[in-house]
């Protein structure tokens, strides 16, 4: 039977993913980024993700970045046939960017001003890419359903929004 720590790693990832999907759904629906709804779910997703990273480093890798790199290389090789652990650095970058984004959101909370800029779009695309890999590509087979459902919901909301903005054009802009 798995220990509490061994169960904490996948469950915090699942919880972070669900919170991420809820936050992104509100982003796609164009609730203001400064709204408490988006801010709450985005922060909860970030916190759960940080707990997941800490749990993985503690329980699985013994706080060794080298061990995490080797494990990432082994898993990447098993999944796609490339012995490369560099994906770990993308996860490290995600921790930094998400923390920066949380601090930025909290700082602008008082002004209520949060224009969507190139950083926001690039950041959300980067985060989605990593979540697709984590929740679908590298997820255990029995857990992929959560990733498929979550991204299915986001895809449906995005498509619905596109059709609502441009009725009769098939959702394609001018």
Question: Tens of pLDDT along 119-156?
Answer: 888 898 999 999 999 999 999 888 899 999 999 999 99
Spatial CA neighbour of 55 closest among 101, 9, 118, 114: 9
pLDDT at 173: 46
46, 98 Cβ separation under 8 angstroms: yes
Mean pLDDT of 51-71: 97
SS3 content of the chain, % helix, strand, coil (to 5): 75, 0, 25
In the block, tokens 């990273």 appear at 53
10, 59 Cβ separation under 8 angstroms: no
Can you give the pTM of this predicted structure?
0.86
The pLDDT confidence band at residue 171, using thresholds 50, 70 and 90, is very low
For 15, 92, 108, the CA distances from 22, given in Å and listed in that order, are: 11, 23, 21
173, 166 Cβ separation under 8 angstroms: yes
pLDDT at 164: 75
- Chain-centre distance of CA 122, in angstroms? 13
- Considering only 36-40, 119-123, 170-174, which range has the smallest mean pLDDT? 170-174
Select the more confidently predicted residue: 112 or 20: 20
pLDDT at 107: 79
């Amino acid at each position: 039977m798995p220990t509490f720590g061994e169960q904490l790693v996948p469950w915090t990832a699942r919880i972070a993913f669900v919170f991420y999907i809820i936050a992104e759904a509100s982003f796609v629906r164009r609730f203001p980024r400064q709204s408490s709804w988006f801010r709450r779910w985005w922060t909860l997703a970030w916190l759960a993700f940080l707990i997941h990273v800490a749990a993985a480093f503690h329980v699985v890798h013994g706080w060794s970045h080298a061990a995490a790199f080797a494990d990432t290389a082994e898993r990447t090789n098993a999944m796609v046939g490339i012995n490369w652990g560099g994906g770990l650095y993308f996860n490290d970058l995600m921790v930094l960017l998400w923390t920066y984004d949380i601090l930025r959101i909290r700082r602008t909370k008082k002004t209520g001003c949060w224009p969507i800029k190139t950083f926001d779009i690039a950041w959300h695309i980067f985060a989605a890419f990593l979540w697709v890999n984590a929740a679908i590509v590298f997820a255990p087979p029995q857990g992929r359903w959560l990733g498929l459902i979550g991204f299915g919901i986001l895809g449906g909301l995005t498509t619905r929004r596109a059709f609502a903005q441009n009725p009769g054009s098939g959702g394609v802009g001018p």
